[in-house]
Amino acid sequence: MNEEYDVIVLGTGLTECILSGIMSVNGKKVLHMDRNSYYGGESASITPLEDLYKRFNIPGSPPECMGRGRDWNVDLIPKFLMANGQLVKMLLFTEVTRYLDFKVIEGSFVYKGGKIYKVPSTEAEALTSSLMGMFEKRRFKKFLSYVANFDENDSKTLECVDPKKTTMRDVYKKFDLGQDVIDFTGHALALYRTDEYLDQPCLETINRIKLYSESLARYGKSPYLYPLYGLGELPQGFARLSAIYGGTYMLNKPIEELVMENGKIVGVKSEGEVARCKQLICDPSYVSDRVTKVGQVIRVICILSHPIKNTNDANSCQIIIPQNQVNRKSDIYVCMISYAHNVAAQGKYIAIVSTTVETNDPEREIKPVLELLEPIEQKFVSISDMYAPTDVGTDSQIFISRTYDPTTHFETTCNDIKDIYKRMMGSEFDFEEMKRKKSDIFGEDQ
């Protein structure tokens, strides 16, 4: 360990493992350490089920009806991959896809007036959806075809909308869309958590709806993918990539000290030894003095023996509860997966509820959503602080990731990765940089 590295990475969360993989592919000498004995950090999948009970201080061991403990891989942070999103692109470019298998999530649903409805995201679905009246359907169909043809560089497609000035509120007005339709378009298609986007320029929202539609067009049932055996497979896949390119991995390493000289990182001390480095990447838990709390997330893992009502018995789905429907400022999400994804015992389902904490009684905030999941066999509640770096790393060369937010996809995580890359390398992130070099097989089957 007493060696000189270009980059040391602390923590094996997804953000850290992807950056570690990119740096290794780019020829950097990388040492990657974690104080835990498992991969994934905050974004781990916990197995066996007994470990989940221990982690949440639930007395006793899981009952017989839960099946074999080893059949469970329970994500601590619920997220899906947008089929046409940035994480899938990263997986394809690095060929980490060869270590993983994915399934398409069976449906996306939205909550309105106490009921669950399928999210209409194609023109054909819009016309048959029970979410809207007949005239509303026609207006929504027009809006969707406008978005599909929208090209900011072709004025003919804009229809007098200025992508950088016209607000999304005005675009909705142009198509005369009602409040309910605005709710599910902004929250279930564009995947905003609050309504702040309404008064911002429309380009970002239109691009988000396009991403949703293009992701949906790939596989048809929903725009989301999920890896078999749980999200913990993702950081491990990128860790393998880093190792193939010479990255060194050490788990179970307590970090005693970050060694600084003149305000700049020069090494990391662990178990009495110092590994020297030029740059450091880490999650907030390793540098509590360089981050600030930006909020809290509540997540409730629920084990069920049945699919969620009104989801056509789907073995996986997402449900979005727009904030307006439950008098809140931010949306509540449900991600549901099951034994079909090798993450639960036969016949069992895992539904994870998550949202930003807004009051002093977070469990009460999500009560209406837990009612949709009844009966619940066992629930595991966590309330986590969210952190953002106060040190951008320019002087210290310490680059800190952001805590995972309550969104149900990885787009914000990928934006964080691109941002850290830019600060470290001084140039914009380029997906091409992630491509495996054709001659670099390093013992892998050709």
346-368 tens-digit pLDDT: 999 999 999 999 999 999 999 99
pTM of this prediction? 0.92
| pLDDT exceeds 60 at position 239 | yes
* Same domain membership, residue 304 and residue 274: no
Residues 6+ apart with CB under 8 A from 143: 172, 175, 177, 185
* Same domain membership, residue 246 and residue 182: no
* Same domain membership, residue 435 and residue 396: yes
> Confidence band (pLDDT; 50, 70, 90) for 266?
very high
* Same domain membership, residue 373 and residue 314: yes
Domain boundaries, position 57? 47-106+223-228+294-387
Q: Which of 47-56, 125-134, 323-332, 426-435 has the lowest mean pLDDT?
A: 125-134
- pLDDT of res. 419: 97
Element (H, E) at 127: helix 123-128
- Provide the 3-class DSSP secondary structure of residue 128: helix
What DSSP character marks residue 286?
G
If one counts the domains in the chain, the total is: 3
- pLDDT of res. 121: 64
* Same domain membership, residue 374 and residue 311: yes
**Of 192, 218, 244, which residue sits at a domain end?**
218
* Average pLDDT over every residue of 144-168: 94
**Of 370, 387, 404, which residue sits at a domain end?**
387
Query: In CATH, what number is assigned to the domain containing residue 276?
Result: 3.50.50.60
Q: Which of 126-130, 162-166, 392-396 has the lowest mean pLDDT?
A: 126-130
* Same domain membership, residue 299 and residue 288: no
Residues 6+ apart with CB under 8 A from 396: 260, 263, 264, 265, 290
Query: In CATH, what number is assigned to the domain containing residue 155?
Result: 1.10.405.10
**Mean per-residue pLDDT of the chain:** 93
* Same domain membership, residue 403 and residue 256: yes
